[in-house]
């Protein structure tokens, strides 16, 4: 209830004889809400201004999906920044080891991480994705990666010739225009278990039928890469890094088949290719 003018005058007269503690107690009693609101605004907008002023553009951004975080993220960020001569005082180098998605269960965590990946891809910030073969295959079907023939030299392609991951563009096109038949998917994956195929159909993900192979769901020891000779229109989109010495040393994909691809919206292609060499060879003199 608002105080009358007479009551306000009485309180002002009383405050003249009050000590310091009394004045503080009076102020807090009548103005604590205002004070807290002002303090919150100062802290919030101060932090916001600080972030805006001190924020840096990305010098490089990679995400390693579904990996084991066996090393400190800052370690490989600093290591690669030094190798690639990226000025970390001017640019951020982010190599995200915390992102996980579960293609069999679209829980909230998977949805949130998938949305994050889509957002940084659409913004052009993301340069590289490394993931297990199954997840990589999912993103590759969405034309998320460069055709390696468009960004690699003949020498670079030759270096990784035995480790290239292919997708069949003809099959993907057929799925998209509705001409792809379930029987064809069964032929492509004759050795796949009925349970696995039923699970995919129940999820309503017909795109999964286009490139489903049993090899995507087995251990690295039994993994068989998609065979381009059996494809109508093979597109090289990734590098299979199971035998990459440095990635094996890091131990972050111990029982999985890691595949790496360059995001089609990336403008830092040279750095992306250097990063592939880094994961393969480590820091060389």
Strands 128-132 and 91-96: unpaired
Residue that is written with structure tokens 């949305």 in the block: 115
Is 100 in the same domain as 219? Answer: yes
Higher per-residue pLDDT: 148 or 209 = 148
Instruction: Give the per-residue pLDDT at 224.
Output: 85
**Residue 164 tokens, joined:** 């290239």
**Average pLDDT of 67-81?**
92
Is 24 in the same domain as 62? Answer: no
Instruction: Give the per-residue pLDDT at 279.
Output: 95
Is 28 in the same domain as 127? Answer: no
Is 101 in the same domain as 190? Answer: yes
Residue 126 confidence (pLDDT) above 70: yes
Choose the most confident range, by mean pLDDT, from 24-28, 118-122, 207-211: 118-122
Burial 141-158 (b: 16+ CB within 10 A, else e): beebbbebeebbeeeeee
Q: Which of 36, 52, 68 is a domain's end point?
A: 52
Is 44 in the same domain as 182? Answer: no
How does the average pLDDT of the chain come out, rounded? 77
State the pTM of this model: 0.69
Query: Helix or strand or coil: residue 104?
Result: coil
| 216-246 tens-digit pLDDT | 445 788 788 999 999 999 999 999 999 999 9
Q: From CA 220, how far away is CA 124, in angstroms rounded? A: 32
Is 35 in the same domain as 63? Answer: no
Is 127 in the same domain as 206? Answer: yes
Backbone Cα Rg of the chain: 28
Instruction: Give the per-residue pLDDT at 40.
Output: 61
**Average pLDDT of 261-269?**
95
Instruction: Give the per-residue pLDDT at 203.
Output: 42
| 180-210 tens-digit pLDDT | 654 444 444 444 433 443 443 344 343 333 3
Is 40 in the same domain as 63? Answer: no
Choose the most confident range, by mean pLDDT, from 27-36, 87-96, 184-193: 87-96
**Average pLDDT of 24-28?**
55
φ, ψ (nearest 5 deg) of residue 190: -65, -30
- Domain carrying residue 105: 57-281
Instruction: Give the per-residue pLDDT at 176.
Output: 76
**DSSP 8-state symbol, 145:** B
Instruction: Give the per-residue pLDDT at 239.
Output: 97
Residue that is written with structure tokens 């503690």 in the block: 21
Burial 34-47 (b: 16+ CB within 10 A, else e): eeeeeeeeeeeeee
- 98, with CB counted inside 10 A (0-12, 13-18, 19+), is exposed
Residue that is written with structure tokens 């597109």 in the block: 235
Give the bridge partners for 261, in sequence order.
129
Instruction: Give the per-residue pLDDT at 181.
Output: 57
Is 212 in the same domain as 105? Answer: yes
Higher per-residue pLDDT: 54 or 64 = 64
Q: CATH code at 249?
A: 3.40.190.10
For the chain, how many structural domains are there in total?
2
**Residue 63 tokens, joined:** 């995400």
Is 44 in the same domain as 135? Answer: no
Residue 69 confidence (pLDDT) above 80: yes
Residue that is written with structure tokens 């998977």 in the block: 110
Is 31 in the same domain as 64? Answer: no
Q: Which residues contact 71 (CB under 8 A, 6 or more apart)?
A: 97, 250, 251, 252
| 204 neighbors 181 (Cβ within 8 angstroms) | no
* Cβ neighbours of 170 (radius 10 Å): 15
Is 18 in the same domain as 88? Answer: no
């Amino acid at each position: 209830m608002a105080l009358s003018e007479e009551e306000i005058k009485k309180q002002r007269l009383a405050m003249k004889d009050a000590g310091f503690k009394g004045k503080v107690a009076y102020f807090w009693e009548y103005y604590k809400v205002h004070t807290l609101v002002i303090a919150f605004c100062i802290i919030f907008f101060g932090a916001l201004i600080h972030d805006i002023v001190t924020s840096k553009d990305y010098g490089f951004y990679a995400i390693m999906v579904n990996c084991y975080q066996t090393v400190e993220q800052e370690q490989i960020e600093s290591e690669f920044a030094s190798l690639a001569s990226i000025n970390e005082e001017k640019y951020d180098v982010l190599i995200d080891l915390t992102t996980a998605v579960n293609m069999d269960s679209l829980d909230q965590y998977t949805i949130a991480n998938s949305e994050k990946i889509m957002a940084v891809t659409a913004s052009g910030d993301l340069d590289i994705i490394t993931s297990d073969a199954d997840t990589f295959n999912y993103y590759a079907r969405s034309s998320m990666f460069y055709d390696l023939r468009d960004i690699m030299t003949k020498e670079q392609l030759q270096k990784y010739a035995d480790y290239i991951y292919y997708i069949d563009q003809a099959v993907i096109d057929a799925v998209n225009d509705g001409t792809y038949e379930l029987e064809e998917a069964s032929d492509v994956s004759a050795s796949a278990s009925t349970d696995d195929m039923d699970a995919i159909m129940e999820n309503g993900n017909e795109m999964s039928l286009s490139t489903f192979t049993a090899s995507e769901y087995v251990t690295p020891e039994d993994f068989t890469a998609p065979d381009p000779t059996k494809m109508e229109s093979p597109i090289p989109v990734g590098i299979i890094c199971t035998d990459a010495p440095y990635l094996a040393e890091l131990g972050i994909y111990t029982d999985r088949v890691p595949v790496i691809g360059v995001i089609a919206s990336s403008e830092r292609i040279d750095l992306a290719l250097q990063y592939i060499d880094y994961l393969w060879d480590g820091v060389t003199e």
